[in-house]
Amino acid sequence: MTGRYNADELLAVLMSRHIDDFETVACGAISMLPASAILLAEATHAPNIDAIIRGSEVYGAGVGRDMHFIAQRGKLDMFFLSGVQFDGEGNLNLHVIGDPDAPDRRFPGGYGSGLLAYTAKKLMLFRTEHSTRVFVPEVDFVSAALKTDPTITRMKQQVWLFTPKAILRWDDGLQRYALLSYHRGTTPAEVQAATGFQLLIPPDVTETPEPTDEELQTLRTTVKERLIETGTYARWAETAFMPA
């Protein structure tokens, strides 16, 4: 990170850039960074999005299970998912660490993740830590998968994975994660060393464009105020961003 922004701000800005105007965009509960990215996109380049933010008093309040029905009807353009583990086969784990029958740790996530991973047109995966503890050869439990048996129909998707070190892209043809860009302060080699499976690293991969002053200012003012005013992770927003 630089002195201009913190890790949360970086991820919120980078994810916001992948939201297009007029999309229906949703995130689940305990999704502070996706909520920030959604509102930043709305405040900058995508004013006509339809936002569904679980846990918000305003954005999609009362939608509940209808979000899953929207996705099943092919009307959900983008969904955000995180995980405690990711592997090179395109699996993510939101449920347990260790033996699923006698886990070392159990997590509250996972409700609907498998369905939404199959039905949203675009997936934004994210994790606030990039290490071999998170990016593992094989997840302990498959909560959602990017690979699909040829006999099973799923939405044709675009998939990105955002971390404090890089942006990865799921290559559906090669069935592998590719390094789309690496953030300032790291290198492709360092990204690979922090990943427990082999990445596809193009020879012409470039550094991620940094957050602009306008994006950071909007995040720290307009978005922060909107989060607080609408009861959308208001307590978190009070201290999440650097001073404007």
pLDDT score at 48: 97
- Per the structure, the complete domain to which residue 130 belongs is given by 7-240
Q: What is the CATH number of the domain that holds 199?
A: 3.40.1080.10
Q: Check the CA dihedral 180-181-182-187 and report its sign.
A: positive
Strand pairing class (24-27; 50-53): parallel
Is 1 within the bounds of a domain? no
Mean predicted confidence (pLDDT) in 106-117: 78
Lowest mean pLDDT among 94-108, 162-176, 212-226: 94-108
Q: What whole-number distance in Å separates Cα of residue 59 and Cα of residue 231?
A: 10
Q: Which pair of tokens denotes residue 234? A: 């208001």
Q: pTM value? A: 0.94
Is 135 within the bounds of a domain? yes
Pick from 127, 122, 110, 198: nearest CA to 161: 127
Q: How many domains does the chain have?
A: 1
Q: Render pLDDT for 180-237 as a digit per residue (tens, 0 to 9).
A: 999 999 999 999 999 999 999 999 999 999 999 999 999 999 999 999 999 899 999 9
Judged on CB neighbours under 10 Å (0-12, 13-18, 19+), 232 is buried
Lowest mean pLDDT among 110-124, 133-147, 155-169, 212-226: 110-124
Helix axes 32-44, 7-16, angle to 10 degrees: 50
Radius of gyration of the chain (CA): 17
Is 190 within the bounds of a domain? yes
Is 40 within the bounds of a domain? yes
Mean predicted confidence (pLDDT) in 156-166: 95
Asked if the model's pLDDT at residue 52 lies above 60, the reply is yes
Is 181 within the bounds of a domain? yes
Q: What whole-number distance in Å separates Cα of residue 116 and Cα of residue 236?
A: 26
> Mean pLDDT for the chain?
92
Is 2 within the bounds of a domain? no
With contact defined as beta carbons under 8 Å apart, do 159 and 165 qualify?
A: no
